[in-house]
Amino acid sequence: MGVKSFSSVFDVLHRRNGLYKEFQIKLEKCDKIPPVKRRCVKKKVDVFDKTGNLLGTYNSVAEAAKTYNAKLSSVNRVLRGLANTTAGYIFKFHID
């Protein structure tokens, strides 16, 4: 399966509903496991310049990152509050 550590297995079991790549991991023995569909929820993202001016609203994080030539992982760090800016822009989840 390519699991690198026990903490990865713990994360899969307790935070990802047992889904890891194309595998399902369960703590109890099962003869047959029904398929689970992954839900992809797109959230709108607002992009601001460093002075706070709204530059645009995008339908997904990936779309905003691609438009401003920013790394997706760096944009996610800004959205989670681990960084203030990336590529000279501020990214925030859109509030209706």
pLDDT tens sequence across 5-63: 777 777 777 766 677 677 777 777 888 877 777 667 789 999 999 999 999 999 999 99
Distances (CA, A) of 45 to 11, 15, 58: 27, 24, 5
Give the C-alpha separation, 37 to 60, whole Å.
20
d(Cα 19, Cα 63) in Å, to the nearest integer? 25
Cα–Cα distance for residue pair 4/64, rounded to 1 Å = 31
Q: Is pTM, for the whole model, over 0.85? A: no
